Amino acid sequence: MADSKTRVPSLQELCELLIARQVSVRSVLEWLEVLKDDPVLTQCEVLNQKCSMLVSDTFETLCHMHGIADVQAALPQENFAALVGSAEARAQAKRQMQVRGMVVERKAADSKAPAVAGTLALQELQEGVVWPPGVIL
């Protein structure tokens, strides 16, 4: 039996590697359709992984370029739903990071309880500071 380091790849493996290098954001949806319909290509592990990774990494771009309906048609429903959920979570995190504002200083409230380890209690901070709109505590 030949060692995996000295084994000569088959013509199918070489073609699969060559095709996988050519898959791009522009062509990935077409390749997904071909992979779904062709029983031989369904077995192409490298090509399937390349398409899956490209869709996962560029989901928002694909939706913008090709339209969300085409992307949804090209993907299994559970994969599409997971990618939409991830995109929504990233968008929410981005919106939260974009909250900007200045803290308006007020006279500190009288301390009724001593600070713990040199820090103020949360209630004292809330009473002594006006938080900008959109800041969630």
What are the C-alpha distances in Å from 11 to residues 8, 66, 93?
9, 32, 46
Q: Would you give the distance in Å from CA 64 to the centre of its chain?
A: 15
Q: Tell me the pLDDT band of 103, cut-offs 50, 70 and 90.
A: low
* Residues 107/98, Cβ–Cβ less than 8 Å: no
Residue with tokens 């949360």: 122
Residues 35/39/43/47 CA torsion (nearest 10 deg) = -20
16-66 pLDDT tens trace: 889 899 999 999 999 999 888 888 777 888 989 999 999 999 999 999 999
Supply the pTM of this predicted model: 0.60
Q: pLDDT value at position 55? A: 93
- More confident: 117 or 88: 88
Q: What is the 3-state secondary structure (H, E, C) of 45-106?
A: HHHHHHHHHHHHHCHHHHHHHHCHHHHHHHCCHHHHHHHHHHHHHHHHHHHHHCCCCCCEEC
Task: Give the mean pLDDT of the chain.
Answer: 80
Instruction: Dig out the tokens for 40 from the structure.
Output: 């031989």
108-132 pLDDT tens trace: 655 555 555 555 566 666 666 666 7
Whether 92 shows a pLDDT value over 70: the answer reads yes
Q: pLDDT value at position 86? A: 92
| CA-wise closest residue to 74 among 22, 28, 133 | 28
Domain ranges of the chain: 11-98, 101-137
Share of the chain above pLDDT 90, in %: 36
